[in-house]
Amino acid sequence: MLKRNNLLVASAAVVATSLVSLPAQAGVKLKDEKSGIVVDLGGRLQVQTLFNDDDFIQNNDTEFKVRRARFRLGIAPHPWWKMFLQTDFSNEAGTGSGGDVRLIDANITFKPHNLSQIVGGLHMAPVARQNLTSSGGLMAIDRPGITNYVLTWGLNGRARFNNSTLPGTNSGSVGDVAVRDLGLTLFGSGSASDTLHYKYYLGVADGSTKRQGDDNRFSVRAQLNYGDAEPGYFGLSTYLGKKQTIGVGIGYDTQDSIAAQGGTGGADVDYTFITIDAFADWPVGPGFVTAEAAYSTLDLNDATNPLVATPGEPSTDVNADQSQGDGLYVQAGYLINNWQPWIGYEQWDADAANNAGDWDGFRVGVSYFFKGHNANVKLGYEKISNDTPGEVDIDTILLGAYITY
Instruction: Quote the percentage of the chain above a pLDDT of 70.
Output: 81
> At residue 43, does pLDDT exceed 80?
yes
357 compared with 312, residue with greater pLDDT: 357
Task: Tell me which residue of 340, 335, 228, 214 sits closest to 284, measured CA to CA.
Answer: 335
Average pLDDT rounded to a whole number, residues 348-358 = 89
Confidence tier at 298 by pLDDT (50, 70, 90):
very high
- 3-class secondary-structure state, position 174: helix
Kindly compute the dihedral angle of the four CA atoms of residues 203, 181, 215, 254, in this order, to the nearest 10 degrees: -60
The mean per-residue pLDDT over the stretch 324-349 comes to: 97
pLDDT of residue 90: 67
- Residue 244: CB partners within 8 Å, gap ≥ 6? 227, 228, 281, 282, 283
What's the pLDDT at 388? 66
* Reported confidence tier of residue 269, pLDDT bands at 50, 70, 90: confident
- Predicted confidence band of residue 314 (pLDDT cuts 50, 70, 90): very low
Taking a C-beta distance cutoff of 8 angstroms, is the pair 45, 67 a contact? no
At residue 244 the predicted structure's pLDDT band, cuts being 50, 70 and 90, is very high
Q: What angle do CA 84, 90, 95 make, to 5 degrees?
A: 155
Q: Which of 48-57, 138-147, 302-311 has the highest mean pLDDT?
A: 138-147
Question: Is residue 264 pLDDT above 70, yes or no?
Answer: no
- Whether 352 has a pLDDT exceeding 90, the answer reads no
124 in Cβ contact with 358 (< 8 Å): no
Q: Between 388 and 207, where is the model more confident?
A: 207
Q: What is the mean pLDDT of residues 311-333?
A: 78
Alpha-carbon distances of 39 from 45, 217, 290, 405, rounded to whole Å: 21, 32, 33, 14
Q: pTM of the entire structure?
A: 0.89
Q: Compute the average pLDDT of residues 197-218.
A: 89
Check residue 391 and give its pLDDT.
73
Contacts of 266 (CB under 8 A, 6+ apart): 260, 306, 307
Average pLDDT estimate for 110-134: 97
User: What would the mean pLDDT of 146-156 be, rounded to a whole number?
Assistant: 92
Give the pLDDT confidence score for residue 214 in this predicted structure. 73
Nearest to 208 by CA among 335, 320, 345, 56: 320
Q: Is residue 20 pLDDT above 50, yes or no?
A: no
Can the peptide bond before residue 389 be classed as cis, meaning omega within 30 degrees of 0?
Answer: yes
Mean pLDDT of 220-241: 97
Q: What is the mean pLDDT of residues 152-169?
A: 88
User: Mean pLDDT across the chain, nearest whole number?
Assistant: 86
